[in-house]
């Protein structure tokens, strides 16, 4: 088998910004002293005048982006998820969300796959925080192809958008000629009748692998990639729940407030179904190599396989 190409979605973010910069003259990129890590440095190289380093002051950066947006600019605010969604939450809510300004938040280094930096930098709450803001689009792409498509879709969407990117290189799974990205539309990656596995971000490839293992045991799992947490593709999830009778959500995020909660919010109202939420179980992360942490917290294919097997 050929080696699978792996790219971190933060890299895709920087590349997409640089590629789109030419066609979108109003696109400006803001960073808070992390351009090398968030990969907005790639954009800076191409468009130095449109890259604004705000220094280590994320709340101010979000406010500056709001001001820029009132004048017609399309600012992409970039920092680690912990600081973009966590530290600057109230600025995102009041200076961007409430006035519904056309600000895009590119949040990198989300989840425990931050790795060695440890719990202080491993944001497990961003999806929960961002999806409570009225009008906020919340996306969590699964690979390089999807991450680039999400950046383009965010640019074309008028209004606030939050996109979550990762530090860890992840397999490219969407490099198919018929791949289409639409905000709010989930993607069925595998058909199955016994259980529906709904995954987001880097957990999509792990979940696909888990589905293969389950198949070997005679469990036929349907796999849905939810790249947009909000607005959630409720029709797709309700139909899948009715079809398979059991639903499992998989995310590199707290089990409180993220994809799992969004799916439960939807199903409890529209199609009550037993749901197993796989994620980080109301605990902080820790230091360690990303791949080891994903395994330790049961978020690798093996961990997902074991939990789903016990569930069905």
Distance CA 51, CA 73 (A): 12
The tokens describing 109, both together, are: 């280094």
Per DSSP, the three-state class of 300 is coil
CB of residue 68 to another protein, shortest distance in Å: 4
Is residue 49 near another protein by the rule CB under 8 A? yes
Distance CA 41, CA 38 (A): 8
| Of 134 and 218, CB closest to another protein | 134
Work out which of 94, 132, 287, 306 binds another protein, going by CB under 8 A: 94
Strand 51-53 and strand 228-230: the pairing is: unpaired
Work out which of 10, 39, 44, 50 binds another protein, going by CB under 8 A: 50
DSSP secondary structure letter of residue 5: P
Is residue 272 near another protein by the rule CB under 8 A? no
**Does residue 11 carry a catalytic annotation?**
no
Q: Tell me the window of 58-66, 126-134, 211-219, 272-280 that interacts with another protein (CB under 8 A).
A: 58-66
Dihedral angle at the C-alpha atoms of 268, 112, 176, 77, nearest 10 degrees?
90
CB of residue 190 to another protein, shortest distance in Å: 43
Is residue 85 near another protein by the rule CB under 8 A? no
Q: Tell me the window of 68-76, 144-152, 160-168, 302-310 that interacts with another protein (CB under 8 A).
A: 68-76
CB of residue 189 to another protein, shortest distance in Å: 39
User: Do residues 278 and 251 lie in contact, with contact meaning Cβ atoms separated by under 8 Å?
Assistant: yes
Is residue 28 near another protein by the rule CB under 8 A? yes
Work out which of 8, 64, 124, 211 binds another protein, going by CB under 8 A: 64
Is residue 60 near another protein by the rule CB under 8 A? yes
CB of residue 137 to another protein, shortest distance in Å: 18
Work out which of 41, 99, 159, 288 binds another protein, going by CB under 8 A: 99
Distance CA 175, CA 163 (A): 20
φ and ψ of 289, to 5 deg: -60, 140
The tokens describing 310, both together, are: 């016990």
Phi-psi region of 111 (alpha: psi -120 to 50; beta: other; left: phi over 0): left
DSSP secondary structure letter of residue 116: T
Catalytic residue from among 3, 19, 58, 234: 58
DSSP secondary structure letter of residue 211: H
Footprint on this chain of another protein (rule: CB under 8 A): 28, 49-50, 52, 54-55, 57, 59-73, 75, 90-91, 94-95, 98-100
Active site residues: 58
């Amino acid at each position: 088998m050929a080696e699978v190409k792996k790219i971190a979605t933060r890299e895709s973010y920087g590349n997409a910004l640089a590629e789109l910069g030419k066609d979108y003259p109003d696109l400006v990129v803001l960073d808070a002293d992390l351009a090398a890590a968030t990969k907005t440095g790639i954009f800076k190289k191409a468009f130095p005048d449109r890259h604004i380093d705000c220094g280590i002051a994320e709340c101010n950066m979000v406010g500056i982006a709001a001001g820029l947006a009132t004048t017609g600019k399309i600012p992409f605010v970039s920092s680690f998820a912990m600081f973009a969604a966590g530290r600057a939450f109230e600025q995102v809510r009041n200076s961007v969300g409430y006035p519904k300004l056309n600000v895009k938040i590119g949040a990198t280094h989300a989840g425990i796959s931050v790795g060695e930096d440890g719990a202080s930098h491993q944001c497990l709450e961003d999806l929960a925080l961002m999806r409570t803001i009225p009008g906020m689009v919340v996306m969590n792409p699964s690979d390089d192809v999807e991450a680039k498509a999400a950046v383009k879709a965010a640019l074309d969407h008028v209004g606030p958008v939050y996109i979550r990117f990762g530090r860890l290189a992840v397999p490219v799974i969407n490099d198919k000629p018929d791949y289409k990205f639409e905000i709010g539309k989930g993607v069925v990656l595998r058909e199955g009748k016994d259980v529906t596995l709904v995954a987001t971000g880097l957990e999509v490839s792990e979940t696909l692998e888990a589905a293969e293992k389950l198949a070997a045991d005679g469990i036929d799992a349907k796999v849905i990639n939810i790249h947009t947490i909000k607005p959630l593709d409720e029709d797709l999830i309700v139909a899948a729940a009715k079809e398979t009778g059991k639903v499992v959500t998989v995310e590199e995020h707290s089990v409180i407030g993220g994809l799992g909660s969004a799916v439960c919010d939807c199903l409890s109202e529209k199609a009550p179904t037993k749901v197993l939420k796989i994620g980080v179980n109301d605990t902080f992360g820790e230091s360690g190599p990303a791949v080891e942490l994903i395994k330790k917290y049961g978020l690798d294919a093996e961990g997902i396989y074991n939990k789903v097997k016990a569930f069905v």
